[in-house]
Chain A
Amino acid sequence: MTERRKRFAIETLPGFTAIAIAAFVMLYLPIVTLVAYSFNGGSSVAVWGGFSLHWYEVASQNAAVQGAAARSFIIAASAAAIATTAATMAALGTTRRGKFTGQTFIYLMINQPLMVPEIVTAVALLIFFASIKVATGYSGLGYLILAHSAFCIPFAYLPIRARLEGMDGAMEIAAADLYANPWQVFRRVTLPLLMPGVAAGAMLAFVISLDDVVITEFVKSAGQDTLPTYMLGQLRRAVTPEVNAISTALLGMTVILLTAFFLLSKKRD
């Protein structure tokens, strides 16, 4: 006789559905509210004054917002490019040459920014860059770009490494068999096949950089606000729906990039 046991399934527990719904509400209601109030015609963040694009207009004409947006974009694009390049080389180094001693150690090193508390990295960078500023007198966006590149590397590294590990080494052997030297193998076969992973990594790095507050806040010099730190500064003073409008724009951008990221990481060959 086979006795049919009742399977334990978490979704059958009483209250499961209610908790799930509550969690979703907690997650999305504030965002929905934020987005809704960005279209508020009135000047309060709590009282609805009719639909309008007024605050988008205000934000887009505000020189401080324009400057912050430009900086955010420059930093994110540069950091994404640098981090993706470094991550691609790191991924090739850690997966394409077989096992070697210290591999786990290097893996941990690459992913260090995921494990060390961000505030610690921020303080460390602040002190480190301060001494360089004194020594060189340079105080441009370079510090922010370098700092962002550093903490973006693991985010770029993960999708690239996943793609590399799923890749068939036979392609590279076949290319070498067909007279491609190691550089040609990389340019003509490895890199094109790796491209969806590289693009996904770059997008993730871009979004992560775009979002950063803590490290930027510590590292930036005067007048180097990015969109998030600008918003933080605004919130300390008067709260207007202008912040909602900027947030919504950022959110839209992030959603688009992350969607592209998921599509790319799911892409097979």
Chain B
Amino acid sequence: MGETFAVEARDAVKVYGTGVNAITALDHVSVTVSRGEFFTLLGPSGCGKTTLLRCIAGFETPTSGAILLSGQDITEEPPYRRPVNTVFQSYALFPHLTVARNIGFGLEMMGKPKAEIAETVARMLALVRLEEFAARLPQQLSGGQQQRVALARALAPKPQVLLLDEPLSALDLKLRKEMQGELKRLQLETGITFVFVTHDQEEALTMSDRIGVMRAGKLQQVGTPRDIYDRPANRYVADFIGETNFLTGVVEGGAVRLGSGDLVRAALGGQTGTVTLAVRPEQIRVVATNAPGAIPARITGKVYFGTDTHYHFALVDGTEVVARLQSRAQGEDDLPKGVEVGLQFEDSSVQVLGP
């Protein structure tokens, strides 16, 4: 017997509507989430992230395929019989109940004794640092406070899995950063498996143990943030996560001949013919034109970002390349527009993506 996963989707398909109006929101999605893991679903709007969460929570039934929780098939179970809780994007706090009653709602529905409910609610209020707000109604709280109540409410029944559907998207940047740290802390403290949805790639990279990148109902790649960033499975993933230069060339020996005529070494893994190379902007070095292996380029522009500066280059055939260089003190190393330089790619950083 292998590991039993906290959550597993087996070949899940979800089709909304019928006939010509049919929309395939999930297209044969298979994925496993381990116990205690912080797993993130990442993808653009409409790619099916919410649909997958709703299938796990039980608000939707997959058209085909199965959902398993700790190895048990729960595909047909109604939501109230699943030990899974959701933090909704809109929070969906009960407006007629106080903060404390909101947080205790799940336990109350489970028929837990009053003393236990009171004790858990108090602990949850402390966990999300809202002790003095217990008697307030949700509409008397700020957005960030409501967010924390929603979190406490979903955590109170100690679910096996917590589903979070873009829980931070309604917050401003500063609060968002704060809540990211808070979420991570809560996950570590409670040890609960988190399935987190976002379309913010930075959020996904900084918070997750593993990320599943989705596109149009299909999972494109599942892996650690490093895997996804350093070894994107395809052009879509490389483009979606961070910025990337895409360079087309033809395999020639152990290297790739670019359109500009320059040779770039890469781990080809047996690929031949036309391939696409992906190079991250921060993995490009600017060197003298006569340095060994340097690709000649001309600076066409630059954008200052504070900690670093984005330089735009044109190779001899006009191919555009962007490099990110750390800004130095007092504008030293400041390269003016029009200057001819050499570019070096770190060998290990060049990813081969196929044509």
- Enumerate chain A interface residues (CB-CB to B < 8 A): 168, 170-171, 173-181, 184, 188-189, 192-193, 269
In order of increasing CB-CB distance, the 9 nearest A-B pairs are: A178-B106, A174-B92, A179-B109, A170-B92, A176-B79, A180-B109, A269-B95, A192-B96, A179-B80
Other 8 A-B pairs with CB < 8 A, given A173-B88, A179-B109: A170-B90, A173-B79, A176-B78, A177-B58, A178-B154, A180-B105, A189-B94, A269-B139
Q: A175-B94, A178-B105, A189-B94 are in contact. Are A170 and B88 (CB under 8 A)?
A: yes
Contact A174 B80 (CB under 8 A): no
CA distance A192 to B157 in the complex (A): 23
Contact A176 B96 (CB under 8 A): no
Which residues in B have their C-beta under 8 angstroms from that of A168? 90, 92
Task: State how many angstroms separate the Cβ of A241 from the closest Cβ of chain B.
Answer: 48
Which residues in B have their C-beta under 8 angstroms from that of A180? 80, 105, 109
Q: Which of B79, B93, B95 has the most CB of A within 10 A?
A: B79
Q: A173-B59, A173-B92, A184-B109 are in contact. Are A178 and B139 (CB under 8 A)?
A: no
CA distance A190 to B275 in the complex (A): 58
Which residues in B have their C-beta under 8 angstroms from that of A192? 96
Contact A178 B153 (CB under 8 A): yes
Interface residues of A, dominant DSSP: helix
Which residues in B have their C-beta under 8 angstroms from that of A174? 86, 88, 92-94
Residue B295 CB within 8 A of the other chain: no
Q: Please, which residue of chain B has its CB at the minimum distance from the CB of A169?
A: B92
Q: Please, which residue of chain A has its CB at the minimum distance from the CB of B137?
A: A269
Residue B193 CB within 8 A of the other chain: no
Which residues in A have their C-beta under 8 angstroms from that of B95? 171, 193, 269
Residue B147 CB within 8 A of the other chain: no
Q: Please, which residue of chain B has its CB at the minimum distance from the CB of A176?
A: B79
Q: Which of A171, A178, A180, A189 has the most CB of B within 10 A?
A: A178
Task: State how many angstroms separate the Cβ of A172 from the closest Cβ of chain B.
Answer: 9
A-B contact pairs, 18 of them (CB 8 A): A170-B92, A173-B79, A173-B88, A174-B88, A174-B92, A174-B94, A176-B78, A176-B79, A177-B86, A178-B85, A178-B106, A178-B109, A188-B105, A189-B94, A192-B96, A193-B95, A193-B96, A269-B96
Q: A180-B80, A269-B139 are in contact. Are A175 and B105 (CB under 8 A)?
A: yes
- Enumerate chain B interface residues (CB-CB to A < 8 A): 57-59, 78-81, 84-86, 88, 90, 92-96, 105-106, 109-110, 139, 153-154, 157
CA distance A168 to B90 in the complex (A): 10
Which residues in A have their C-beta under 8 angstroms from that of B106? 178-179
Contact B86 A181 (CB under 8 A): no
Q: Which of A171, A179, A181, A269 interacts with B92 by CB under 8 Å?
A: A171
CA distance A180 to B79 in the complex (A): 9
CA distance A193 to B109 in the complex (A): 18
Task: State how many angstroms separate the Cβ of B247 from the closest Cβ of chain A.
Answer: 47
CA distance A157 to B266 in the complex (A): 72
Task: State how many angstroms separate the Cβ of B153 from the closest Cβ of chain A.
Answer: 7
Q: Please, which residue of chain A has its CB at the minimum distance from the CB of B59?
A: A173
Task: State how many angstroms separate the Cβ of A140 from the closest Cβ of chain B.
Answer: 40
Task: State how many angstroms separate the Cβ of A201 from the closest Cβ of chain B.
Answer: 18
Which residues in B have their C-beta under 8 angstroms from that of A193? 95-96
CA distance A179 to B139 in the complex (A): 24
Which residues in B have their C-beta under 8 angstroms from that of A188? 105, 109
Q: Please, which residue of chain B has its CB at the minimum distance from the CB of A181?
A: B80
Q: Which of A177, A179, A184, A269 has the most CB of B within 10 A?
A: A177
Q: A184-B109, A269-B139 are in contact. Are A176 and B92 (CB under 8 A)?
A: no
Which residues in B have their C-beta under 8 angstroms from that of A176? 58-59, 78-80
Task: State how many angstroms separate the Cβ of B78 from the closest Cβ of chain A.
Answer: 7
Contact B110 A179 (CB under 8 A): yes
Q: Please, which residue of chain B has its CB at the minimum distance from the CB of A178?
A: B106
CA distance A189 to B101 in the complex (A): 12
Q: A178-B105, A178-B109, A179-B106 are in contact. Are A171 and B80 (CB under 8 A)?
A: no
Task: State how many angstroms separate the Cβ of B193 from the closest Cβ of chain A.
Answer: 16
CA distance A192 to B96 in the complex (A): 7
Q: Please, which residue of chain A has its CB at the minimum distance from the CB of B153?
A: A178
Q: Which of A170, A174, A176 has the most CB of B within 10 A?
A: A174
CA distance A177 to B86 in the complex (A): 7
Contact B85 A177 (CB under 8 A): yes
